[in-house]
Amino acid sequence: QVQLVESGGGLVQAGGSLRLSCAASTRTFSNYEMGWFRQAPGKDQEFVAAISRYGGFTSYADSVKGRFTISRDNAKNTVYLQMNSLKPEDTAVYYCAARAPGSGNRYDYWGQGTQVTVSS
């Protein structure tokens, strides 16, 4: 069982930056690939970014590529999402998720979400 807690969301003007954090309560954090997802009101959940177990590989949605950076610190059991050049269309609840080897493309654990609001 893994608990994930996001923090760092808030209100920011277009063009600004935010850094989201996700703290994991597990002794085996490095076993998990980590991802960020988001969901805006009335919209489907959208993949944002993912990072491999030791941070060697990353993946991004086209809509955030070049603006967002995912990273992790396994010593702190924490994954981050640095968001720069924010746009109003980035407004959403952002969720941290974890998946273990053998889970295929399914994420097994999810955080409660943190709200990001970008004003024009």
pLDDT digits (tens, 9 = 90+) for 89-105: 999 999 999 999 888 88
The residue type of 92 is: A
Query: Which residues, 6 or more positions from 1, have their beta carbon under 8 angstroms from its beta carbon?
Result: 109
Give φ, ψ of 64 to 5 degrees. Answer: -120, -5
Averaged pLDDT of the chain: 96
Average pLDDT over residues 102-120: 93
HSE-CB of 51 using CA atoms within 13 angstroms: 22
The C-alpha angle 42, 47, 48, rounded to 5 degrees, equals 110
End-to-end C-alpha distance for the chain, whole angstroms: 40
50-70 pLDDT, tens per residue?
A: 999 999 999 999 999 999 999
pLDDT in the model for residue 67: 98
